[in-house]
Amino acid sequence: MHQERVQNFFVVPRNTEKLFLFGVLLALDSFLYVFTYLPLRILFACGCAVTSSFHTRVFRRTHFYDLMVAVIMAVGTTVLWYVDMSRVYHSIRGQAMIKLYVLFTMIEIFDRLFSSLGQDVLDSLYYTAKYHPRRVTRMFLDFAVAIIYVVLHSLLLFAQVVTLNVAVNSSNTSLLTLLLSNNFAELKSSVFKKFEEQNLFQISCSDIVERFKLITIIGLIWLQSSTQDVAYGTSMVMVAEMLIDWLKHAFITKFNQLPPTLYSKFITILCRDLTGWKSEDTILDHTHHVSKRLGLMSLPLACVVLRMVSKALADVPIKLMSPSGILVTVAFFLCLAAFKALLSLVLMIYACKSGRLDDTRPKSPQSVHHHESIQRYKC
């Protein structure tokens, strides 16, 4: 028995990384939807709006929702465009270390609060546009709330990017050490609590989203700074994040006597969300189910990425509105769409051929269906 506990303690990191790798790829697939399929849906909606005067019932309610999402993203990106990053950077850099630690902690807390609220806000806007389009006042309020939410969450994520950029670029390593210690505070607040299987599943989904956001933020920092200058700091942040996740899940499973095979069940749940297994809800596409399960809000993060990339492209000698610039943009979009389609295909093939959709597979005492019924992540 004791040998099995020790063995399980060292097996958990391997199982968690399998889950995190699959979850991060799912999050990437959902995130790329905003830059590939969503623009095509918006263009198609614009075309349907133009031709609706000639053909009846061409412009559908889902098209109207796509146009509202386009406006929401445009407003969020425009607001970020007028934020002076250099001024924010030097303002944060001039603060005391303890203030930066408190700021970074507050950003992480509010990020989770906004993420839990954002899905309900966008779902409310979708259902109002689809099922109650004549309630103009309700739709206007939902639309206004969605804009305010995306703008505030985008500003929060932008501040997180700048704060981490200050930490990894600072010559004072104590600042980076102070921010890394925040991860150990998370370890302290997690391992000494009682967790059931469904609680561990929620924590795993949250860790997947946190891992994906951290990878995205590090990529944006590399885009803004020289990779050689920030390589040490960003690698330290990433290694610390992985180490804390390993220790946290290893001790949670140890103290609560949970088997490491649970993480395989969690992958099964995500596979079923990906394929829409026995799901009658077809709100948009499979990425919506996965995003809602993980708690990933793509629109605010997409606004931050668009702002950072557009500012970086402003220094490129090729003008985007020139013929060569348009050609490069279209080629890049096609490559990105092809990569997204390939990634979706690979994930779908894995989900279908791994046997995780088969009801005859053996289950642990608490069924997979019990986790699928968790209201917070239920699609």
> Which one, of 48, 75, 53, lies nearest residue 64 by Cα?
48
The residue among 4 and 307 whose pLDDT is bigger is 307
Summarize pLDDT for 121-160 with one digit per residue, the tens: 998 998 888 888 778 888 899 999 999 999 999 999 999 9
- Looking at this protein, which amino acid is placed at residue 264? S
**Look-up of token digits 């779902």:** 123
Whether the CB-CB separation of 242 and 315 falls below 8 Å is answered with: no
Summarize pLDDT for 8-40 with one digit per residue, the tens: 788 889 999 999 999 999 999 999 999 999 999
Spatial neighbors of 249 by CB under 8 A, at least 6 apart, are 12, 13, 16, 200, 203, 204, 207
> Which one, of 151, 137, 250, lies nearest residue 203 by Cα?
250
Q: Around Cβ 14, how many Cβ atoms within 10 Å?
A: 11
Q: Looking at residue 5, what is its pLDDT? A: 74
- Looking at this protein, which amino acid is placed at residue 279? S
Query: HSE on the CB side for 62, CA within 13 Å?
Result: 8
Rg of the chain over Cα atoms, rounded to whole angstroms, equals 22
Summarize pLDDT for 219-269 with one digit per residue, the tens: 999 888 776 778 888 888 888 889 989 999 988 988 888 888 899 999 999
Domain ranges (residues) in the chain? 2-372
Q: Looking at residue 375, what is its pLDDT? A: 43
Range with lowest mean pLDDT among 29-43, 70-84, 89-103, 164-178: 164-178
Q: Is the pLDDT of residue 364 over 50?
A: no
Cα dihedral across residues 273, 275, 280, 281: positive or negative: positive
Average pLDDT, the chain: 83
Virtual CA dihedral for 151, 160, 24, 69, nearest 10 degrees? 10
Structure tokens that stand for 128 in this block: 């109002």
Whether the CB-CB separation of 177 and 232 falls below 8 Å is answered with: no
Whether the CB-CB separation of 300 and 153 falls below 8 Å is answered with: yes
Q: Looking at residue 341, what is its pLDDT? A: 94
Q: Looking at residue 76, what is its pLDDT? A: 94
Residue 322: φ, ψ to 5°: -80, 165
Q: Give the CA distances from residue 374 to residues 122, 180, 318, 368, in Å, rounded to whole numbers and listed in that order.
A: 20, 32, 50, 11
Whether the CB-CB separation of 164 and 308 falls below 8 Å is answered with: no
Whether the CB-CB separation of 235 and 292 falls below 8 Å is answered with: no
Query: HSE on the CB side for 46, CA within 13 Å?
Result: 8
**CA 68, CA 209: separation in Å to the nearest integer?**
25
Render the burial of 195-233: b for 16+ CB within 10 Å, e for the rest.
Answer: bebeebbbbbbebbbbbbbbbbbbebbbebbeeeebeeb
Burial of 6 (0-12, 13-18, 19+ CB in 10 A): exposed
Judge if pTM exceeds 0.75.
yes
Q: Looking at residue 62, what is its pLDDT? A: 81
